[in-house]
Structures are given as C-alpha cells and as structure tokens.
A = this chain, B = another copy of it.
Amino acid sequence: MTLTDVPNTDATSGPGRPAAEVPHMKWWGWGVEGVGFHHEDKPAFAPFVLQAVGLDLGTATKAEAPSFDGLDVAPSVATPELLDALRAAVGDGNVATDDLDRVVHAYGKSLRDLVRIRANAIERTPDVVVYPADEAEVGAVVRAAVEADAVLIPFGGGSNIAGSLEALPGETRPVVSLDVGRLRRVLDLDEDSGLARIQAGALGPDLEAQLNERGWTIGHFPDSFTHSTLGGWIATRSSGMQSDKYGDIAQIVRGLRVVRAGGVVDIPAIPSASTGPSVREMIVGSEGRLGVITEATVQVHRRPEQRRINAYFFPDWAAGLAAMRAISESDAALSVTRVSDARETGFSLATSKESHGLSKFLSGTALPTIMKSKGWDLERICLSFIGFEGGAEHVKRQKRLVDAIVKQHGGMGVGTGPGVLYDQKKFDTPYLRDFLLDHGAAGDVSETAAPWSKLAGVYDGVVAAAEAAYERIGTKGWVMCHLSHSYHSGACLYFTFAFVFGDDPIGEYDVVKGAIQQAFIDHGGTISHHHGVGLEHSPWLEEDISSEGVALMRSLFTAADPGGNFNPGKILG
C-alpha cells in the first residue's frame, strides 16, 4: 500500500480552533481528500485480488468519485426555536445547517455507511451540527436539545464502523450532531503521576504530538488513530496496537467528565477505587447514551528508551497461536503480539512493494529454501510481529525470551525490517476498502476475543461460516485473520473479509457479516473486542452478555435518559 500523501493533523495550532477548522474525513470515504490506495508499484497485488475474490483489476471499471451535487439531502427539521437556542449556546458561527456538514455527520465509515452514501441513500441526515468550544457550551447544547426534545448524537472523528453515529431511520424529532472537534487540547500533564487531562475531541496525532513534545505518550494506537478522537475511543471501548503494554482504553482512562442534562459527571482519576459499581466503566463504551464526554484524565507514559517491532514466521497458524499464548504466559510483558493466518500472510506479501519489505524476504531464494528445508509448506506460513518497549536491558531480555519461545514453537525470526514497514503503514489499511468499493468489491472487518482454549474453534468456525455465506450469496469471497492483542486469559482475533458484490451490496454484506458475528457467539467469542456495538452488533448482544445482562444495561439507559434524547437505539435495539 502506498499513500500519495501523508495526512498530518496540525498539532501546533492554538487552543479553541474555530469550527471551520475542525478536520473531517471525505464525506464519501475514509481519510482525507487526495489520499488513496493504489497498486501500481505492487505487482503481486492484482494477481492476488484475482485469485482471492475473482476481481480482475485489469478489466474492472473504476467507479467515478461520487458527486456531492447529486445527493438528495432531506431538508433540516430543526425548529427555529431549537436553532436559536443552539446559536445562543455556541455562537452563530458554530451552528451548521448546510448540506455538506450535515452529510459528513450522518454516518461513520463502515462498509454499510460507505455503500449507502455512495448510493445516495442517506436514511436520516442530522438536522443541525454544533461545534461547542468548551464544556460550558456543551452543557448549554445538551440542555437546549433536551428542552426541545431533540436527539443528541456526539461526534468525534467519525471513524466508527458499528453504526453508532447515525440517527435511527424513522427518527421524527430534530437530530443534533454535537461535534467535539474544537475540544482538542491537552489541559494538564501530571508528570509525577503519569496522568494527562485531555479534551475529548483531540484526534490521535494531535494529542500524541502535544504529549510527545513533553516526552510522553498515551500509548493508544488504534487502526483509526489518524482520524479518531479520545472521546470516541472511550465511548466505544477502543483498543490500540500497543494495548498489550499500555492497556485498552478502559484501563488507560482513569478520570472522566461527562455532560448530562442535570449536570456534569465528574469521576476523579483514582488509580483504583472501591466505590460501588464503576460509573467510569458505565461511561466507557456508552456510545453517547449517557451524555457527552468532554474530557478524560488518562494514563500517559514516558516515551520508551527503546521501541522495536520484530518479524517472525511460523510454519502454520496453530504454531503461531500456541507461541502467542506461551508468550502471554511468560514474564515477557510485550507491547505488540500479533500473528496473521496464512491467508493474511499472503495478503501482506502481495501488498508489499516489489523492492521493499516482505517481498524482499520471500522473493529471493534464501528464505524459502530455509523454510522448505524445515519441511514448511509455504502456503501455510504465518507472519508475526512482536513489539518490544522499555529500557535497553529490558528490551534485550524480552527479545531473548521471545526468541526462545518462537523457537520452541518451530518459528524463526527475520529481524526488524518488516516491522519498520508495518509500523509505517499501520494506519493506512482503511483506504483499501474505498479502493475495492471503487472496483465493485465489498470489504470490512469484524473482530472478537475469546479465551485461549476457544481461539482455534472460533477461527475455524468463522472461516467456515464466511465460506458458507459466500456460497449462499453465490460469490467468491475472502476471509483472513490475525491475532491482534493478547491477554492473560485469551486474545483478540481480527477478521477481514471481502467479496465482489452483485445487485444488493448491503444485503449480501449482511449475510456475510451476520454469519461471522453468529460464529463468534456460537464458538465462545464476544461480538466485539474494540469496535463497539452501535446498531451493527446489537442483534447479538443478548446472546453475548445474556438477556438479564442486557436488562441491567437497559435499566441504566432508561432511568438515566427517560426521554431517550441521548443517541437512542444504539447498543440496545
């Protein structure tokens, strides 16, 4: 994958940027204008796609970039009274009712969202977008929305793929999208405690730059990092690439401020407390249903002395899984534990540039010869990345421990070369989805977590379910997987799937996605490890946390928001 440009959020601009400067992704796709995936320098890519999903990039027609002028945008139903109240709350210039702003805030970036927006099929456009400058303005917006019995949907970077950002199709009340993009500052850094107070609307690169300047890092790097916000990470229980070391966002966030109609929930940043059911853990993952997160106090760490990502190969998936489990049980304490199945390993090789990275390793004869001499089947090999961080001696010792475990499981190390490349391009994968969509193929991701003892069963079950689904819709499809995070008692499996769609892209997508989600449940996994529930996964929630578990959650939502003004319908259908 190559990017024609590297998007770079401006971290140096001062606090309180105007609404007009809040960055947004393309209204019709991932990332920023002018940046996209292309494969001209990756000769293995087109043959790979042909083999994987039967799409011939040589002959396929590329769709035109969608035209905004052709979109049918329903008129805003915001009442003049509501608009007046919102303007009084945030100032005239920070209330937007123009079509582009409304469309940008209509959806997240799931495959379903991209297909609908490209097909001129926006089901419910928000009526007004507001850009408050601080917590007091958020409070005024919240009160105005509840007063008017409007629906309020908080919006961060807009990268959500679980349907958490859209109004319900039949919503008759005015819909207000509250964009937190102006709240982007690191407010305070407590260097004695490793705690930073950060506003909820700070995008990943923006907050990380502000921390890096002072020698610190949050250590949270989800795939969406470039285009997602702290508030969004918290609202969806996000997880990052280095969460093995730094924790998922639920561990990273300690203090929280959440604006509700009655006032501000203010959870102090205590390292651990015994104060009843955790209100902090009610807010984390709440997707806007309990109020608007305005800031969080998060754990930050001094940037490590050393940081490296090494690549390893295993003869097969079972060996890779077993090695990751052994590593998690060891004293190693790593930052990244990742292993791809054979299909994803093939994909990684195919998307490497000819002269760089993985291809270099396997295009010669040396490495394949060694692998064959070990009796490996090159169609079954699995690529793994392991991340090491800390003091020089710590990293050296981690590396020694991991090398020994890899060897015990029949694997081999190939150094840091591929890891450097992985590190550079890790945030670019979502661009590929738009490229495929341009050429008639649908692709998306779906991830789960399960105990170690169930992972192999989940994996086999999902692959079988996806293949059966492809057969059902009569297409050639692809599914690949990597283990992306390890815990003491289990791991996350992250699946990517793609297929050439026919007349009904969303209907066909539903068959495949639904089959994968059901396989998660049937084989002992959860419906989501870090993407949230939204509308996309709520049909399976009862099968995951039980109907009485859902009943408890519904009790909370209903009693805390009796008018159903806060992002109604999400998480619980």
A524 to chain B, nearest CB (A): 7
Binds B, one of A92-100, A178-186, A209-217, A278-286: A278-286
Of all chain B residues, which has the CB nearest A485? Answer: B272
Whether B549 lies near A273 (C-beta < 8 A) is no
User: Contacts A290-B552, A397-B397, A453-B192 given: A278-B269 contact, CB under 8 Å?
Assistant: no
A417 CB-CB contact with B under 8 Å: no
A287 CB-CB contact with B under 8 Å: yes
Whether A275 lies near B527 (C-beta < 8 A) is yes
A120 CB-CB contact with B under 8 Å: no
Whether A277 lies near B490 (C-beta < 8 A) is no
CB-contact partner of A267 in B276, B287, B391, B546, under 8 A? B546
Q: Which of A185-215 contact B (CB under 8 A)?
A: 190, 192-195
**Bound-complex Cα distance A449 to B193 (A):** 12
Whether B279 lies near A285 (C-beta < 8 A) is no
Q: Which of A501-541 contact B (CB under 8 A)?
A: 524-533, 537, 541
A177 CB-CB contact with B under 8 Å: no
Whether B552 lies near A555 (C-beta < 8 A) is no
Contacts of A490 in B (CB 8 A): 193, 270-271
Q: Which of A255-301 contact B (CB under 8 A)?
A: 258, 260, 262-287, 290, 299, 301
A496 CB-CB contact with B under 8 Å: no
Whether B290 lies near A285 (C-beta < 8 A) is no
CB-contact partner of A276 in B269, B299, B397, B553, under 8 A? B553
**Bound-complex Cα distance A560 to B558 (A):** 10
Whether B270 lies near A525 (C-beta < 8 A) is yes
A78 CB-CB contact with B under 8 Å: no
CB-contact partner of A290 in B195, B250, B277, under 8 A? B277
Contacts of A532 in B (CB 8 A): 274, 276
A369 CB-CB contact with B under 8 Å: no
Whether A556 lies near B548 (C-beta < 8 A) is no
**Bound-complex Cα distance A302 to B558 (A):** 43
Whether B193 lies near A526 (C-beta < 8 A) is no
A84 CB-CB contact with B under 8 Å: no
Whether B286 lies near A276 (C-beta < 8 A) is yes
Whether A548 lies near B260 (C-beta < 8 A) is yes
A352 CB-CB contact with B under 8 Å: no
Of all chain B residues, which has the CB nearest A257? Answer: B546
Q: Which of A225-253 contact B (CB under 8 A)?
A: 236-239, 248, 250
A383 CB-CB contact with B under 8 Å: no
Whether A275 lies near B545 (C-beta < 8 A) is yes
Of all chain B residues, which has the CB nearest A451? Answer: B193
Counting chain B CB atoms within 10 Å of each CB, which of A283, A285, A559 scores highest?
A: A559
CB-contact partner of A195 in B489, B527, B529, under 8 A? B489
A450 CB-CB contact with B under 8 Å: yes
A77 CB-CB contact with B under 8 Å: no
Contacts of A237 in B (CB 8 A): 273-276
**Bound-complex Cα distance A411 to B275 (A):** 35
**Bound-complex Cα distance A306 to B334 (A):** 21
Of all chain B residues, which has the CB nearest A333? Answer: B333
A312 CB-CB contact with B under 8 Å: no
Whether A552 lies near B545 (C-beta < 8 A) is no
**Bound-complex Cα distance A530 to B264 (A):** 26
A394 CB-CB contact with B under 8 Å: yes
Whether A492 lies near B272 (C-beta < 8 A) is yes
A347 CB-CB contact with B under 8 Å: no
**Bound-complex Cα distance A551 to B266 (A):** 11
A436 CB-CB contact with B under 8 Å: no
A333 to chain B, nearest CB (A): 6
A409 to chain B, nearest CB (A): 15
Of all chain B residues, which has the CB nearest A190? Answer: B453
Contacts of A338 in B (CB 8 A): none
A69 to chain B, nearest CB (A): 38
Whether B452 lies near A193 (C-beta < 8 A) is yes
Of all chain B residues, which has the CB nearest A270? Answer: B526
A331 CB-CB contact with B under 8 Å: yes
A429 CB-CB contact with B under 8 Å: no
A-B contact pairs, 10 of them (CB 8 A): A194-B452, A254-B489, A270-B451, A272-B530, A273-B544, A274-B531, A276-B553, A277-B286, A278-B281, A556-B556
A-B CB proximity, top 10 nearest: A281-B281, A555-B559, A271-B487, A193-B451, A271-B490, A237-B274, A559-B559, A192-B453, A266-B546, A273-B526
Binding site for B on A (CB under 8 A): 190, 192-195, 236-239, 248, 250, 254, 258, 260, 262-287, 290, 299, 301-302, 325, 329, 331, 333, 390-391, 394, 397, 449-454, 485, 487-492, 524-533, 537, 541, 544-549, 551-553, 555-556, 558-560, 571-572
